[in-house]
Homo-oligomer: A and B are copies of this chain.
């Protein structure tokens, strides 16, 4: 018999599209998730942790064909069941809400944090496993639930270190879009194709600008390469209605020119009289419209006026406007003004997916991207209301609303603002001058640890002392402890300030270093106290 072939060595490679996280990358995310969980918890949300694996049947949307499931999820067949890795945290919530519907409180506020997996083609910055951090309220039909999530999102961003003024939460409503489509003559089953083209067109507002979108709403658009994309075939007036909804900047300017029609009919008495009084009776609003720079606190009132004017002939549209006004009122009563949360008709993202209010958190400070362009940091969280969550399973409609925070993007934002160090402070390293004294060295680290100091003994081959200091450098260690035969005999240890040492090496000529020696000799019994003193001094000189 031939001898078995030797198996070739396996490749040591992270699978394509996946990542490894080291040191501070892990601790910083863990800390951020803890800060987020604290806010969610204070708002009455309970944690839920489902497993990474679901049946393909329960996940929905992705169903297996003959021998391989559709793109989008990682799936496999297991004892005649198709199983898959979850692609978000909402699908498992839907399954849980249906499965435990008799045991869970209703409304059910839950948060969930963990990895999700997407079977996408790997590309730069696109990963196949990433963290999501969601909070959802299931079973609450009132927009008070949406307002609550917006307030919570605001508190959350500040809790993790995003300063007020550096973010804004924008709120829009799918029902208003439906009203706009209705007003534009795009209601009805026969217009579904046109509505699809319109939704895809406005999704490109950022990239193509108003003129590009206008072309796509009309006959179509030829791009720079000469390729032609067929449009929705709207006439100018129809396209204008759509654009007045999304192009909020232009609409705001037009508001000043045209004034607002005050004859709107609304159910809510207070608001009706407010609207009836009209823009002329509201000098503050007048002022805001004239001078948008000073109009921050009037932003939400202006947007609601504008939307009501736009969809006043559509009952679904006006329902959406009323919901937006209720959200703005609830938030304003709790002190969340337009400096944090704004009604913004230009929010496009998620409008196709959600059924009511949608919200998006955007970081407004500027960063320089890979191509050297300065731009706003952009979106870090989004969500909205989706009322068919549990229906797939039970046939019963259950209202739900929720938000998902992009954990990795939010971490990147904190790095961009300089609020997170990229490097952890390493441990104090006790070097090994004499292998036979290992018990003495381990006793030193035990004393340091018991005093709360991160510390370790060098456990590599101690023969080359230079290697031990190189190791300490690689660990980003603040201090090295040195003790050989002489020191033990005299009852002393050497404490080496590695941070000062590195600074001195860089600026060897500076006078100021002269009276701060980078290495001191102390009594063995003072080891812990002297190390703590040096660490405190290092922290002071770095802050």
Contact = CB atoms under 8 A, between A and B. Distances in A.
Contacts of A22: 46-48
Interface in A8-28: 9-16, 18-23, 25-27
Contact of A442 (B16, B139, B333, B394): B333
B75 A42 contact: no
Interface string A23-52: 101110010001001000111101111111
A438 B51 CA distance: 37
A290 interface: no
Contacts of A54: 15
A9 B60 CA distance: 10
Given A42-B452, A47-B23, A76-B75, A330 B442 contact: yes
A197 interface: no
A165 interface: no
A439 B330 contact: yes
A148 B52 contact: no
- Among A14, A151, A426, residue most surrounded by chain B Cβ atoms (within 10 Å): A14
Contacts of A99: 12-14
A186 interface: no
A119 interface: yes
B12 A98 contact: yes
B53 A394 contact: no
Given A9-B395, A10-B60, A140-B459, A52 B438 contact: no
Interface string A134-151: 000101111011011001
Contacts of A53: 15, 18, 74, 85, 117, 128-129
Contacts of A440: 333
A22 B446 CA distance: 38
A284 interface: no
A55 interface: yes
A330 B438 contact: yes
Interface in A72-129: 74-76, 78, 81, 83, 85, 95-96, 98-100, 105-107, 109, 115, 117, 119, 128-129
Contact of A105 (B51, B60, B471): B471
Given A12-B96, A75-B76, A333-B440, 7 more contacts: A11-B55, A15-B55, A18-B50, A19-B51, A27-B47, A148-B457, A330-B439
A147 B443 CA distance: 12
A85 B75 CA distance: 11
B34 A438 contact: no
A506 to B, nearest CB: 22
Contact of A394 (B12, B109, B393): B12
A495 B21 CA distance: 48
A390 to B, nearest CB: 8
Contacts of A393: 9-12
Given A105-B471, A459-B137, A44 B13 contact: no
- Among A44, A50, A57, A440, residue most surrounded by chain B Cβ atoms (within 10 Å): A44
Contacts of A81: 15-16
- So how many copies of this chain end up in the complex? 2
B20 A49 contact: yes
Contacts of A330: 438-439, 442
A474 interface: yes
A79 to B, nearest CB: 8
Given A12-B58, A427-B44, A51 B115 contact: yes
A424 B50 contact: no
Closest 10 pairs (CB-CB, A-B):
A44-B456, A12-B98, A333-B439, A140-B459, A76-B76, A44-B427, A26-B47, A12-B99, A18-B51, A334-B446
Nearest to A79: B16
6 contacts: A10-B60, A22-B47, A27-B47, A106-B460, A142-B438, A148-B459
A147 B37 CA distance: 36
A475 interface: yes
Contacts of A456: 43-44, 109, 148
A537 interface: no
A247 interface: no
A419 interface: no
A20 B51 contact: yes
Nearest to A55: B15
A309 interface: no
Given A10-B60, A99-B13, A78 B42 contact: no
Interface in A420-441: 424, 426-427, 429, 438-440
Contacts of A78: 74, 119
Contacts of A329: 439
A457 B10 CA distance: 57
A144 B15 contact: no
B15 A471 contact: no
